């Protein structure tokens, strides 16, 4: 019996079509797929629980439409589940038309023996691409996890900005402050900007009503977007050096600044100086999620499942659009502080 965590394809069909469906199942197994259909339910098992478990873990669901199966509620339910997850592989066993709501998904037909072998190749190709896409339980967890980490980084950036604003009077009293703050604030702003741009590019087919195609998502899947984020984001490795070097910010502080005040500034500048390992990396964490989800969309397109690819993108958008709005607001706060400190030329 196939393990629930290793199901490449779940076959949904009418029991009355079992013998006609069996050759399809055997060919899928011969192609190297782990296949589950309900002949594998063990005696004594709670069959509804078993079916629900296999449906939840399957990487693709092959629904076999026929004159009989189109009338079965459970087949329709399983097909609807597959459609919602973006893993439906519909197959026609005869000349039946798929039920209302499923006709727009591209299907393969085994009704004509003359073309059955070629159609079988298409079925296998679709299932293989879905299997590679890793579409299954927690389909969009990579985007959600990346968004949460990015929000955490943005909260750290906000705390840094508040500390800078609270110490702005002291920072204005010495010549070293402009150099350190210039690099720090520019780095924060650059990071906000590149992540916002990456999300905008990823969602462009929805926001700009463009076609979802491989030309956009294949490069994202290859990691190009991650490389672009790394290249353009802020880097503050020199801030500590600028701060503590001879004649730098630390030594240029007026004698009127208390020891406690200097220690506060030490903490403030150190928090952003270590950002390459901390704040900035968290602010760009969503980039890895975009690459992984770009791979899912790429494989769905290769599997000739454009509707599923769009559904997947829309689900990603439900996490990304609120994040993009939050990041835009954060960048606005950076710009406001830059203007208040008289460093407005940074954003020109």
- pLDDT value of residue 346: 63
Identify whether the C-beta of residue 188 lies closer than 8 Å to the C-beta of residue 284.
no
Half-sphere exposure (Cβ direction) of 309: Cα atoms closer than 13 Å: 27
Q: Indicate the domain borders of the chain.
A: 9-133, 141-347
- pLDDT value of residue 177: 58
Q: 114 CB contacts (<8 Å, ≥6 apart)?
A: none
Question: 9-133, superfamily in CATH?
Answer: Toll/interleukin-1 receptor homology (TIR) domain (3.40.50.10140)
- pLDDT value of residue 209: 86
- pLDDT value of residue 44: 43
Phi/psi region, residue 144 (left: phi>0; alpha: psi -120 to 50; beta: rest), is alpha
- pLDDT value of residue 51: 78
Low-confidence ranges of the chain (pLDDT < 70): 1-5, 39-49, 103-105, 133-141, 169-180, 236-258, 261-262, 264-278, 344-348
* pLDDT tens by residue, 186-201: 888 999 999 999 999 9
- pLDDT value of residue 178: 63
Q: What is the pTM of this model?
A: 0.63
- pLDDT value of residue 239: 54
Chain-centroid distance of CA 211 in Å reads 19
């Amino acid at each position: 019996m196939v393990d629930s965590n290793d199901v490449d394809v779940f076959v949904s069909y009418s029991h009355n079509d079992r013998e006609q469906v069996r050759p399809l199942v055997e060919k899928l197994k011969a192609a190297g797929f782990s296949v589950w259909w309900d002949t594998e339910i063990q005696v004594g098992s709670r069959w509804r629980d078993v079916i629900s478990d296999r449906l939840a873990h399957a990487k693709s669901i092959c629904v076999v439409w026929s004159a009989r199966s189109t009338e079965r509620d459970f087949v329709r339910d399983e097909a609807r589940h597959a459609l919602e997850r973006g893993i439906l592989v519909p197959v026609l066993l005869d000349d039946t038309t798929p039920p209302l709501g499923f006709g727009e998904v591209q299907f393969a037909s085994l009704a004509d023996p003359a073309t059955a072998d070629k159609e079988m190749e298409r079925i296998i190709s679709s299932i293989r691409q879905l299997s590679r896409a890793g579409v299954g339980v927690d389909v969009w967890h990579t985007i959600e996890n990346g968004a949460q980490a990015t929000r955490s980084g943005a909260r750290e950036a906000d705390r840094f900005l508040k500390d800078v604003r609270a110490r702005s009077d002291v920072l204005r009293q010495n010549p070293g402050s402009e150099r350190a703050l210039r690099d720090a604030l520019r780095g924060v702003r650059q990071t906000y900007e590149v992540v916002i741009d990456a999300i905008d590019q990823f969602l462009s087919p929805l926001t700009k009503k463009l076609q979802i195609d491989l030309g956009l998502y294949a490069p994202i899947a290859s990691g190009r977007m991650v490389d672009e984020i790394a290249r353009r984001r802020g880097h503050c490795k020199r801030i500590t050096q600028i701060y503590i070097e001879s004649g730098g910010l630390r030594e240029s502080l007026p004698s009127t600044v208390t020891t406690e005040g200097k220690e506060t500034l030490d903490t403030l500048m150190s928090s952003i100086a270590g950002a390459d390992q901390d704040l900035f990396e968290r602010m760009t964490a969503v980039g890895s999620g975009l690459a992984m989800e770009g791979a899912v969309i790429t494989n769905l397109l290769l599997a000739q499942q454009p509707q599923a690819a769009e559904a997947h993108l829309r689900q990603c958008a439900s996490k990304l659009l609120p994040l993009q709005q939050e990041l835009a607001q954060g960048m606005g706060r950076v710009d406001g502080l830059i203007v208040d400190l008289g460093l407005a030329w940074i954003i020109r």
